[in-house]
Structure formats: C-alpha cells, structure tokens
Amino acid sequence: MYDVVIIGCGVIGAAAAYELARYDLKIAVLESENDVATGSSKANSAILHAGYDPMPGTLMAKLNVEGNEMAFRIAEKLHVPVERCGSLVVAFDENDEEHINELYRRGLANGVPGLSIITGEEARKLEPDLSGEIRAALLAESAGIISPWDYTLAMAEVAVKNGVELYLDTRVTAIEKGDHFTVRSSKGAEFEARYVINAAGVNSDIISGLVGDREFSVRPTAGEYFLLDKSEGSRVSRVIFQCPNELGKGVLVSKTVHGNLIVGPNAVETTRGNTSTTQEGLAFVRRTALRSVPSIQFRENIRNFAGIRANTEYDEFIIGESRSAKGFLNLAGIKSPGLTASAAIGKYAGELLRKMGLSMKEKEQFDDTREVVRFRELSEEEKNELIRKDPAYGRVICRCETVTEGEIVAALHSIIPARTVNGVKRRCNAGMGRCQGGFCSPRVCRIIARELGIDETEVLEEKEGSNILYSRLKEV
C-alpha cells in the first residue's frame, strides 16, 4: 500500500514528489508517457514570473511569488540552468499605461520585490532594440528564465534518489475508492494508496472525473512559438512582455537559458494533445512581437512548437482536497504561472496532505543534491581530466552544442534514464543547436540502440510510434 500516489510527472507532479520525498512515506508517481516533462512542462515560455499579474489575495499570487524565490534556490542547488534577468511589460498607449500601473499596484500588494515604472526612454536605455513607440514599461527585477524540462527532471531525480518510485508508460485509466484508493493503469498494474494527488495537467479534469469530481473542466489553449538561433539570442537581455489579456500573458520576446531567442505565444482554444503549429498563429505571433522589438530577424528561426495550457473556467489554480473523494488532492488546472509556482505548489501540497490526515515524519537523511556534467562548461584542465578518465568525453556528437558521447551515455544511464532521442536532448542538449539534430541525430540513435540493447529501428524520437527508422536496407 502506498501512502501517496501522484498522477502525472510534469513540473507539478515532480515538485510534489520532491517535497514528499523528505518524509518517511511510500510514494509512487504514475506517468503515462515514456519520460518526465513531456507535457506543458516542456513547451512553455520558460519564464520565472515575478508575480504582479495574479489578483492579490489569490492562491496563484501567493504561490507565484513564493515559487519564484524557491525556483532560483532549487535550480542553483540542482544545477538547472537559470538566470534572474528581469522583465519589462511595455505600454504603447494610454490604456496600456493604465494597465501597467494596475500591474504595479497588484505587484506591490502581492509582495513582489524590485518593481518600478520607467519611461519609454529609460526602457530603451536598458533594451536598445525596443520600439520607439513604447511610452512606458513596468520593470520587474525578480523575473527570470529557466530550463523548464531540466527543472522538472532535477526535482524528479532527487525524489527518485530518495526512494520515490517512478512508473513511466503508466496511464491511469480508473480509480476506485473504498477505505483506500485503487488506481488502475493502462498496463493492468494496480496501485493501492491512502492518498492520491492529481497532477495530470491538461488531463487533470479527466482524472478528477474518475473519482466523480466534475467541479471544473480544462479548456486546452495552445500557445505557438518561434525559437530563433543564438545569433538572435542577445537581441534583448530581459523578458519583454506586452500587456496580458484574459487568455494568457501576451506575446513575449526573451532570450533563453540556452542562448536562443524565444518569441510567442498566442492563445487559441484547441483539443488535448494537439501541439501542431499553424501559419496563421505564427503570423500573428511574428506581427505582434515585431511591435515590441522591430529588429528581430525571423529568418534565423530554427524551430516552431506549441504548448497547451490547462486553462479552466476559473482564474485560479485548482488546488485542494476534492469534495467528491476524501484523500484525493487536486493540483489541477495549473496554467501559467505554474512553472514558476511549482515548487511552492509542491510544498503546499505537503501542508494540505498533513491537514488531510497524512502522518509525515521527516527522514533522517534526505539527499538534496544532483551532479550533472556539462562538458562545454568545463575548463580545459577539467575537460582533459575527464577525457583521460573516459575517452567517450573526447568524442563530440552534437557539433552545434558541443555535446560529447560521454554525456549522452551518462544521460542513458542516469537516475531517470533517457530512452528516446528527445529524452537525450532534454538531458544534455544534443540536437538543440542551429541544425536541430540534422547532424547528430543518426549518431544519437546509434548510441541509444547500443546502450539500451535495442535495434536502431526501435529508437523513438519521443512518444510511442515516433520511430525514426522504419526498416534496414538489405545489403546487396
């Protein structure tokens, strides 16, 4: 019998597991996909929001501000790429100026540090590429950028290292409630649990429906992006937002922690799982972004992608014990700023479980560390030393990002091992560069097949059915 079963291993499930792993509890995380962070947590703007946007007094405001601080602390400790670069919300006209004044007031009420309203001229001094049309801006010094998938992975890895059991390829299909929960999965495996956490993202309403809770419904809302080459990465040095609207935080322009430029998203209602991009959507994003930063060179685009927000009918996270099933905790409908708030949501989930009756005794030992080797970040001496120990670190597989065979092999044998080409990419950046895997993916495929002891035709790009090779050519 598990004390807690967590459904979903995006950043919210991972953060809950990371928090609960500190206690003497038997915990399982059930994830339908073959890796962690394959849902919204891998396809978003990757911003650590300062916290001026949510309405004062809401849970969202509190968890955003707390989560921002916690994210920087955790990311630095667990070697997740992160940078406190600050953000600007720009105003083009009087309405926008009123809006940023309102955001400023909300920010003060929410306890956001480092907020000020600056003139258009001052904004252009900070960011010379900003449009001459900008009349004023809200500067938020506490905002930042992070690698969202590495943040998720890092928290999940520490949880697993401390005894949490992670079951991948395990889609929850039914939940029965007697004096405890029986959680059934697609593979036929059953998990008995005293408490269940619903962290299933865009599917969180379906999961709560399994215990008869129909108090909210997810309205999946897509956001489409451009990811530009590093040659555009220094176009701005802060996150540049426009004024938000009811569907999302508006189109932003930002550098990423990997040195690229990200531009997006729009907000279009869609269906679950539809992460396709559209010509129309991207044209809107491009047009809107050029209003803030007219010099963006879109010909340097290297990838388009879309992420799906778990928007609901409420302007609030849905967090709390379900009224339909005692012991069932919803961490549901976690839309933006969910990435920022995640660690605070995980901590709050622990507090709620305790109030719900779970007895939580801290473990004597909790290993809150994570080692990651990033070859390109080492000094020449460190590189030479590593190559002496393991010559695989001397073979560069991804030329754009300087990723070595040693790093790829380490990713395939890590605590939550990569099993796909994108899993390798998320763990060590192979394929993230200008050529987007054109050069390295056949080599990565070969290494995956060799290390996992499978045929190359079985190697997946990401999800089930995404095989890269279909058959071998017959030798003639």
Ligand X SMILES: Cc1cc2nc3c(=O)[nH]c(=O)nc-3n(C[C@H](O)[C@H](O)[C@H](O)COP(=O)(O)OP(=O)(O)OC[C@H]3O[C@@H](n4cnc5c(N)ncnc54)[C@H](O)[C@@H]3O)c2cc1C
Binding of ligand X by 281 (CB under 6 A): no
Among the listed residues 13, 120, 346, 350, the single contact to ligand X using CB under 6 A: 13
Part of the chain binding ligand X (CB under 6 A), chosen from 275-283, 305-313, 319-327, 397-405: 305-313
Asked whether position 16 contacts ligand X by CB under 6 A, the answer is: no
Q: Which is nearer to ligand X, 50 or 293 (CB)?
A: 50
List the one residue from 110, 162, 322, 336 that touches ligand X (CB under 6 A). Answer: 336
Place of tokens 């927000």: 309
Least distance in angstroms from the C-beta of 166 to ligand X: 11
Residue of 49, 79, 99, 258 with catalytic role: 49
Residues 210-249 binding ligand X (CB under 6 A) are 223
Q: How far is the CB of 475 from ligand X (least distance, A)?
A: 40
Q: Which residues contact 381 (CB under 8 A, 6 or more apart)?
A: none
Contact 18, 29 (CB under 8 A): no
- Among positions 34, 41, 208, 270, the unique one binding ligand X when judged by CB under 6 A: 41
Q: What is the DSSP string of 149-212?
A: HHHHHHHHHHHHHTT-EEE-S--EEEEEESSSEEEEETTS-EEEEEEEEE--GGGHHHHHHTTT
Q: Give the three-class secondary structure for 376.
A: helix
Q: Is residue 38 within the footprint of ligand X (CB under 6 A)?
A: yes
Using CB under 6 A as the binding rule, whether residue 51 contacts ligand X is answered as no
Pick 146 or 459: Cβ nearer ligand X: 146
Nearest-approach distance from CB 200 to ligand X, in angstroms? 4
Residue with smaller CB distance to ligand X, 193 or 207: 207
d(CA 47, CA 26): 33
Active site residue 49: yes
Q: Does 301 bind ligand X (CB under 6 A)?
A: no
Shortest approach of ligand X to residue 148 CB, angstroms? 7
Q: Does 312 bind ligand X (CB under 6 A)?
A: no
Inter-residue contact 90 to 240 (CB < 8 Å)? yes
Number of residues that bind ligand X (CB under 6 A): 40
Q: Which of 11, 143, 344, 445 binds ligand X (CB under 6 A)?
A: 11
Residue 155 in the binding site for ligand X (CB under 6 A): no
Closest-CA residue to 79 (of 440, 402, 422, 414) = 414
User: How many other C-beta atoms lie within 10 A of the C-beta of residue 260?
Assistant: 23
Among 200, 343, 352, 468, which residue interacts with ligand X (rule: CB under 6 A)?
200
Name residues whose C-beta falls within 8 Å of residue 193's C-beta, 6 or more positions apart in sequence.
1, 2, 3, 4, 5, 28, 180, 181, 183
Q: Tell me whether residue 223 or residue 433 sits nearer to ligand X (CB atom).
A: 223
Residue 266, classified by CB atoms within 10 Å of its CB into exposed (0-12), middle (13-18) or buried (19+), is buried
Query: Measured in whole angstroms, how far is the alpha carbon of residue 212 from the centre of its chain?
Result: 29
Q: What is the smallest separation between the CB atom of 192 and ligand X, expressed in angstroms?
A: 17
Listed residue (394, 24, 8) closest to 201, CA to CA:
8
SS (H, E, C) 268-297: EECCCCCCCCCHHHHHHHHHHHHHHCCCCC
Q: With respect to ligand X, which residue has the nearer C-beta, 65 or 358?
A: 65
Which of the ranges 302-310, 366-374, 396-404, 436-444 carries the binding residues for ligand X, by CB under 6 A?
302-310
* Integer Cα distance of 143 and 396 in angstroms: 35
Can you spell out the DSSP letters for 203-263? GHHHHHHTTT--S---EEEEEEEEEE-GGGTTS-SSEEE---BTTBS--EEEE-TTS-EEE
Of residues 202 and 397, the one with the C-beta less far from ligand X: 202
Q: Tell me if 74 contacts ligand X by CB under 6 A.
A: no
Q: Which amino acid is at 115?
A: L
In sequence order, the 6+-apart residues with CB closer than 8 A to the CB of 94 are none
Shortest distance in whole angstroms from residue 102 CB to ligand X:
20
Please pick, from the candidates 99, 255, 335, 347, the single residue that binds ligand X as defined by CB under 6 A.
335
Q: Binding of ligand X at residue 171 (CB under 6 A)?
A: yes
In angstroms, the Cα distances linking 73 to 62, 77, 80, 339, 443 are 17, 6, 10, 14, 36
The residue within the footprint of ligand X, chosen from 60, 134, 334, 412 (CB under 6 A), is: 334
Nearer to ligand X, 263 or 403 (CB): 263
Active site residues: 49
Q: Which residues bind ligand X (CB under 6 A)?
A: 7-13, 30-33, 38-41, 44-47, 49, 171-172, 199-203, 207, 223, 265, 307-309, 334-340
